[in-house]
Structure formats: structure tokens, C-alpha cells
Structure 1
């Protein structure tokens, strides 16, 4: 959980029911009365999250989530909470009461196992139970046995290596194995989840290699950073769309029998301090593209403002934010168990995702640039504004970064979507077979399979700061790079990174330092820096690398330091083995 290390296990709760056809959102703070429901055994991609604070008052806000179709709730209790004060003395009151309440409104429960009990003196507080694995296994077995028939999902730890004293993946693997063995022994139907912070797929890779292979049934990630990047930098959507494919590429290489297991984002969110409009964009983008890439569930952090953020869909007074209404209408349009048809490109630039709605195909789209662009649909369509529900009939529409739902779309768009579904997701072209990718900072900024986090905003910065080159001190992420996932993701092969650079006009001493995602260490690595020569010529800095593993842990694959230099171009080339 962001900003907190849990000292108890946490319950992952699945609340399943049919979606109301009425727009969500009475803006009142009192508890809502949910209809009598039966738990749905099939997880929906529409989930919701909870902070530790809000796990203690579900009645205040969970009915509002259920009202708009969010039936998969992550709460904060279980596991060690049943054995809180003294070893061997079990009390199930807290767990049973919370499960009973949620079952009364159609809940199925999963448990995330995390932290150490108060009586543990064998292990370092805030770390893994490496010196008490038998006691850990006993707890897991007791919980799995006690909740048998009500609990299906058991997630191992909360976003490691966070909350582990930065323990290596090999230590986490030991906990995964102990959890899997104990849970399956007590409840053969239990599903055990292996977790990692952010999009730290390399950590999962290392854990599997260290012995966790075969000892898990699903994967969880918390890619806050990637979501924040695509919201702030339009046109970078492929970063988010590559999460599940990269995980599956890793599983295919390391544990092939697990290649198709569920992937769940048990936390993802966007701080409303950056604006309600941006949170609304974030929530629609997160769920739409999560479903499109086959994620089993996206659990937004969080339902009601709690001990982080504020990130809630509703505030502390239970007043819904625009994102709450928008997400509810997305569920209404495409259903709690959506049927994804495929993707399209509008004006060959803007991403659109088509789903089969109850009354016909539904297009979800937004502009992939900060400048609005007119879309001609060729016929009258119905354009729905997600936060307000306002519907406009028109054949042309000025598409902006604000998402819209479109119904009554031409058949040719549906046909295109079906054909595109199995194709590589494009980022300015298809670079799946390319030998190299590059970006140039000349009079015209050009990305060819290599992208900066600044996206289309960089053009103005080039003129303002660097003329026909990129200034090292320029803000907005121009020194941060992401390669097209179709060119290279997860797979390690020899590569060469080159940068054409020179000192600034004052000829100040400068070094160019590279940091890149690696198979070694805790995600990123720095080779020797390049000393930029004392001259007025352009020089080529070159690094040959054989341990790169580009997975986008922190929403970038590599970056350069800020400094008193200019960058003309950057290239990544695959080398022959």
C-alpha cells in the first residue's frame, strides 16, 4: 500500500453483481443499502482498492463503488490479524465479520499476506519472515483452512521489494514457496499470487529463477509511474499497453506453464492534486487499456480518500469526483465482463479501443497529442462525455485528451479493430523487425522507435533551450528514454547505445552519464560515464551493453544525467550475438 507498510495481512475482496443502468452517484455521505446479491465466481476487470484506514469502514463507501459496478475490492485485514498478540492464540472475529458483511452484498474474498506479527522476535521488523518460515507457513495454512470455500486469492506480500528492507528476489522466492506449499496443503483450490512493486518485472524474473517457479497462480503489479507518465505525456500509451505482453514474455521464457495466468493490478491510481480532469483521464485510460491487453482485474487505489493521496473516486465526505461518474459510465457502456474487439488509429495518430456493448460496438478514444484534432466518422455517431453523460449526435468531432465514448460507429472501424487486435500495438510505426531505433533533436524533432517521456511537448523545448539540439538541462523528461516495446522488451541481447553530444557554447566541462534497466542489481545500472571532449565538434558517446532488460520498471528504459551539454541524437542498435 502506498505510504504504508502493512503489519497485517490484507483482504482482497470481490464484490460481484449486475450493473445498474441508472447513472451513478448520489452525492451524499450516508451509507447506501446494497441489494441482496450472490457472489460472482468470475472476477471482473473492474476492481477498486482501499487504504488501511478505509478497510475499517467499508459501509461508508463500498456501497457507492458497488453501485457503479466495481465488485472487486482490496481491503486491509486478515492473516496475522487472526493471531495478533500471542503466538498460537487465534481470533477470527475481525476477518469473519468483514467477510460476512461483504458477502451480504455479494462478496468473494481473497487475502494478501504481508508483514510480521507483534510476537515475532526472530526477524527484523519491516522485513521478510526468513527466520520464521515454519510459523509463517502455519499462519498461511490456518488462514487458508479457515476461509476455505470463501477465499480464493492469496497474494504474497505487498509490492516487494518494498516492505522487505530491500531484500533480494531470492529471499522473496523463499516466502512465495512457503506460502504456496502451506496454502495448497490446507486448501487445494487456493490461488497464490506473486507480487512486485511498480512494473518491476525483472524482480519477478529473478524470483522465478531463484526457485519460485511453479509456486504461484497469478501475478500482481502496481504501475503507478507508467500511468502517471501516459497521462502527463500524450502519445506514450504503448508504455502502458506493454505491461501484460512483457509479463507474458517473461513467463514464456522462465515458466512456460504459467504463461497465461491472470495478471492483476492490485493498485494503480492518480493523485487529484494534479486535477480532477487528469484523474478522470487516468481512470478511463487505466481500465480501457488494461482490459484491452487482457488484465484480469484493475483495482483503482482507492475508492474513498484515506491515508494516501488524495486518490479516491470519492472524497472524505463521500462526494463523488468526476472520475467516479466516468468510470461508472464505462461499466455501463461495455459491461462488467467486457468483450474487447480490438484497436484502431484515428487520423493515423489517435488510439481507439472498441468493445462489444449490449446495444452494439462502443469506441473509447482520446487524443494522443495535446493539440485537439478533428475526427470525421463519415456518418452520424453518438458521442458520450464520461463524467456528465451528455450525448451529442455528430459526424465530426474535435478530439481532445479528454476521453469520450462513441456509439453508432461505422462498420469499417469495427472491421479494422478486429484485424488489428492480433497486430503489434504501434508507437509511430511498427519496429518489431527493426535493427535500430533512434530520436533526433534537430530543427525537426523525430522519433523512430525511441521515445522521450516529453512526447510532443519536447518540440517547443528544443526551440527554447537547444536550437537544433537537445540541451542537457532542459526539463520535462527529454533525457529519459523508452524504446518501442515491439523493438525490445524483457529479452536480453547485446545492444549499443550511442549519443551524439557536445559541450555547451561556453565549453564548460561535462560528462554524459547513462543509467539503464539491467538484469543485475535492483533494476537499474550505471556504466562508466562519457567525458565530453573539450572542442566545438559533435562527438559520439558509445556504450556496448550485454545485460539490458527493458521492462519499464520506473516508466523508462534508460536515461542521461542533466548537464551542460547538447544532445543531437540518440540511437539504440541490436548487435549480433
Structure 2
């Protein structure tokens, strides 16, 4: 059988770019995405796709598939630009999915950007026509972009469910082999749950999330690896409870990224490596890094607006080179009992991706000389020891003893300073040295130095991040029936006896919610005061990266000291 010239040429020049032979429309974990101005048509794509192709990226989130882009007028579909773009992707060895979204100007009953529930017949026709037109070229169809974002002010999960059901039925009729994705912003599991309960049950083939906020904790070296590793398990627990037939569907992160200016270019590269390592480890089918090239969303790209590569570009190239297009996850180990490392069957053998979980340094010794790769530069060295930092390193030629440890841990949750699965309570005690026993401040004890007041340990209540808390996921995360809990805080006004107070905001079954007791005013500075909240509807999923916070109305009400916080299962 003759191989078409274009395919043969691609195989010779870019052998790593061809899709797997078993199913050319299936995904691998290393994906890429773009903002609007980098993905409207072939002209936009040509400004950056070649550089993505050069490092082995071949899975793109979407091209220009929006409703208004392919149906500019009510009576007319126009696929010319989309066809040109899809032809270009094919020439480049790029597999793309599609986004079903938008509300064209001619459908004026709803405000722009809102869910077109006023015209489900028109929405269904759009979905049917675009899926039919792209059959065999596009398989993965994501319904909307991170709802409830970009929906109408008063639109509900039930409105999104209508859009999903209509899209699913139309897409499956046009192409039974296509896949339809149910979406949510951040890691908003409560929203997904509400959409399923509103009627979307069984009307999806995969889930998409954009867990930027959880990744922020990793970028800040807050030690929140266990929280990131819990994203997929939480979704699967929800699906098992609300839609068992879909509990094992693929989960994709169709956007995930890091601002190269706010966090720094090296940090962006570091967090990229960690995101892919931990994403693959927990079973994410594909991570579409946001984004390939800077566009209308700020400095998020692997390359800047002029095409200059950032360290993250090199880092992703090294990940693909050494792990291969479809790495096999082998398990995790804690180096020296505390530093996370994830083992994979890579392109040429086992690869270990390791780092320290906070801004520390630790000397790691191996039982034999191994290879070390700096992902940000591609530099390779060889030795039997390494000074490990929060900047991840790829370890090649992994000793067998480490691989055995990794395999034994593969199906266990990553610990966070201990195993709290069977504990009745978790706590954090503030002092010259913060003691976290299953309860953590959002930014860890690096958020600020402890404040010693009244002869005892405490922290100022207005320290940024010091009033935001995360429980160990093993202690409490999603349950179909909420576990009743009590939260206790020990507080005291500052030396000036300033009027101070706060309210408890927590993750509930319906999302973030203020506790019914409302505002709490710290009585005085004569003694320590204990305040308690009894919660019956807490549902901790970390969709903003934390579980609860003590919120003050501006700095002037943060004039109090926080001695300890405890969460107890009632």
C-alpha cells in the first residue's frame, strides 16, 4: 500500500509528530491551547504553531469553531476559514479538538456571551452542521468555555444543562464516534454536580477543567502538591455519586498556565513541569497548556509575542523528549521522606521528576550514578548525588530501589505531612514556628513571619494568605452527603485594641458561602477568645485552591491575632 507523499514526508521529517497508529484521533497528555487572537484562522495559527511542532506538541485544544465564526448569518454557514485552518493543522501533524460556544449577533434575544437557551433549535443546527462537516478531522468537542464564566448574569446550571443536552444529541446524530465534553471553570466540581442533577446526566463523554487557582499554590511553592493531586479523585468521587455510568470518563485540563511576568519566567517553567508530572500521575488525559504564544491574555505563552522562547518552551520540549508522547505512570516516592518525585516509563527508560515542595534545598543521594536534566535549559549532568530545590529536575537511569518504592505507592494518595484519613480533627497552631497537623494556611508558613503577642504565639489576622485555609484532602474532600464539621478559631484583638472582626467563608454544596452566623467581632484584647462554627453543608473541593477563609472588610478590621484554627468532624 502506498503512503501518501505528505504523510511520508511528515514521518521522515517529524517522526514524533504523527498520531498513534491505533487511533489517530486519540489524545496524549502534552497539549497546547491559544487565546482568541491566536486561533481564529490559519493566518493566526501560522504565527506560532510551527514552533510548537518543533518540540513535539501535536494536540491542540481548538481552532476557530465558534458559532458566529461558522454561521455569520442566520441562513448561511461558512466553513471556508475553518477548512483552511484544519488543512493547515493536518499539514503540520496537529490534532485539534473543537469548542462549541458563542451566541451570534443575529441571535439578539440574549446578551452577547450568554448561553443561547432562547434558541435551542438554532444551537442544535450549529452543532449538527459543524460536527458533520468536520467528521473524521475533529473528535473532541467541548461545550462552552469554563462555565459559569461567559454565561448570562442570571443563567443557572440548568440553562447550561439545556445547552449540553442539545449539543450532545445533535453531535452524536452527526457523528456517533465524536466525544462531547462537559465543562466548568477552575475546578468547580459543585457546578458540574449541579449541571448533572439539572439533566445533563449521561450527556457527556469527558470532563474539562481549568484549575489555575490550584496551580497557583504550586507556583508559590506552598507545599500544596497533595491538593493538586486530588483534582481528578474529587471529580471521580462526584461522578460515582451522581452519574456512575460516567465515573471513568476522561478528564482534560483544557486550560492551565502561569503568568511569566507576575510569577517569573523560571517559575513558569518550573510549574509547567510540575503540572504535567502531577497531571499525568493522577490520570489527566490531556493538559492543554495556556498558551503557546502571547496574545490577548497577557504573558502566558511558551513564546512571547515576538516569537522568542521562554524557559517554559524548553522545559516542555524536555518533558516530551524524555517522557515520550504517551508516558506510563509508575508511581511516586518521597525523596529523603519529604520531597515529591514521580516516576514514569519514558521514551528511553524510566524517568523520575523530582523537586522540593517548598523553597528549600536538600541533598539527595542515589545508589548509583544517574543522569540529571535541567528542564529549563536542557543541560544534562551525571552524578550519584544532587542538591534538590523547588526547581524540578528529570532523573534518568533511575535506580531499581526507587522504582520499587514508586510502584508500591502508585495507588496511594500523596501525603501532606502525614496521613489524616482516619483523624477526627486537623489543626494549625501559629507561633514562631507554625505547626500544621492536617490544616494549612494557603501560602504555608512562608506567607509571613509569625507575630508573638501577649507573651504567646499568634499571627496577625491581616497577614495576606494567613487567613486562608486548606484541609488535608485525605481528611476531608468531596462526599455525596456532606460531613458535619465544626471550625474553631482562637483570636484576640491587637495591642491597640482596634475594632476587628471577620466572617467565615467556606466551600459549601453550592460553592463559596458565608456562614449563617455572619460577622464576628473580636470582643477585646484582654484575653484569647474562641469562636466556633457548626457547618452541615461543607463540601471541600478546592475549586479556588482553598477550603475556607476568615474574611475581613479591608485591612482596618484585620487588627487581631490568630493563635490556632481547628476543624473537627462532628
- TM-score between both structures, scaled by the size of structure 1: 0.91
Aligned-partner SS, 2:26: coil
Does the alignment pair 1:127 with 2:122? no
Distance 1:417 1:19 in 2: 36
Instruction: Choose the corresponding residue for 1:181, options 140, 158, 169.
Output: 169
Does the alignment pair 1:48 with 2:45? no
Aligned-partner SS, 1:131: helix
Q: Cα deviation per residue 1:195-234 (whole Å; 9 max; x = unaligned)?
A: 1111111100111111111111101111111112211133
Cα gap change, 1:388 to 1:82, in 2 (>3 Å) = closer
Aligned-partner SS, 1:229: helix
1:396 to partner: Cα distance? 1.7
Distance 1:445 1:316 in 2: 43
1:18 to partner: Cα distance? 10
Alignment correspondent of 2:140: 153
Q: In 1, are the aligned partners of 2:19 and 2:25 still within 8 Å (CA)?
A: no
Distance 2:384 2:12 in 1: 33
Structure 1: stretches of 5+ with no match in the other structure: 1-15, 23-33
Instruction: Choose the corresponding residue for 2:549, options 553, 559, 566.
Output: 559
1:459 to partner: Cα distance? 6.6
Does the alignment pair 1:508 with 2:492? no
1:275 to partner: Cα distance? 1.2
Alignment correspondent of 2:240: 252
Q: Cα deviation per residue 1:34-87 (whole Å; 9 max; x = unaligned)?
A: 899988332010000111111132122112112212111124412424544321
Q: Judge which range, 353-362 or 131-140, deviates more.
A: 353-362
Aligned-partner SS, 1:513: strand
Cα gap change, 1:237 to 1:18, in 2 (>3 Å) = farther
Cα gap change, 1:256 to 1:466, in 2 (>3 Å) = farther
User: Equivalences for 1:80-99 in 2 at 5 Å?
Assistant: 80-81=67-68, 83-99=70-86
1:265 to partner: Cα distance? 0.6
Q: In 2, are the aligned partners of 1:19 and 1:335 still within 8 Å (CA)?
A: no
* Root mean square deviation, CA, Å: 2.3
Q: In 2, are the aligned partners of 1:424 and 1:430 still within 8 Å (CA)?
A: no
1:473 to partner: Cα distance? 1.4
Aligned-partner SS, 2:382: strand
Distance 2:544 2:118 in 1: 31
1:329 to partner: Cα distance? 0.7
Distance 2:454 2:178 in 1: 57
Q: Cα deviation per residue 1:135-165 (whole Å; 9 max; x = unaligned)?
A: 1111111112111222211111001111002
Q: Cα deviation per residue 1:97-129 (whole Å; 9 max; x = unaligned)?
A: 111111122233322111101210222222111
Cα gap change, 1:291 to 1:462, in 2 (>3 Å) = farther
Aligned-partner SS, 2:490: strand
Distance 1:279 1:297 in 2: 19
Q: Cα deviation per residue 1:391-433 (whole Å; 9 max; x = unaligned)?
A: 2222221111111011122211100000001112111111111
Alignment correspondent of 1:570: 565
Does the alignment pair 1:66 with 2:53? yes
Cα gap change, 1:464 to 1:103, in 2 (>3 Å) = farther
Distance 2:537 2:551 in 1: 20
Cα gap change, 1:431 to 1:148, in 2 (>3 Å) = same
Distance 1:430 1:66 in 2: 43
Does the alignment pair 1:534 with 2:521? no
Alignment correspondent of 2:101: 114
Q: How many residues align?
A: 547
Aligned-partner SS, 1:319: coil
Alignment correspondent of 1:472: 461
Alignment correspondent of 1:8: none
1:462 to partner: Cα distance? 4.1
Alignment correspondent of 1:207: 195
Question: Which consecutive segments of 4 or more residues in structure 1 shift more than 6 A?
Answer: 16-22, 34-39, 464-467
- TM-score between both structures, scaled by the size of structure 2: 0.92
Cα gap change, 1:18 to 1:247, in 2 (>3 Å) = farther
Q: In 2, are the aligned partners of 1:52 and 1:75 still within 8 Å (CA)?
A: no
Aligned-partner SS, 1:343: strand
Alignment correspondent of 1:169: 157
Distance 2:99 2:412 in 1: 36
Alignment correspondent of 1:266: 254
Alignment correspondent of 1:30: none
Alignment correspondent of 2:376: 387
User: Equivalences for 1:372-411 in 2 at 5 Å?
Assistant: 372-411=361-400
Distance 2:536 2:37 in 1: 46
Q: In 2, are the aligned partners of 1:19 and 1:67 still within 8 Å (CA)?
A: no
Alignment correspondent of 1:331: 320
Aligned-partner SS, 1:40: coil
Q: Judge which range, 449-458 or 348-357, deviates more.
A: 449-458
1:371 to partner: Cα distance? 2.0
Distance 2:249 2:92 in 1: 28
Q: In 2, are the aligned partners of 1:386 and 1:404 still within 8 Å (CA)?
A: yes
Q: Cα deviation per residue 1:10-36 (whole Å; 9 max; x = unaligned)?
A: xxxxxx9899799xxxxxxxxxxx899
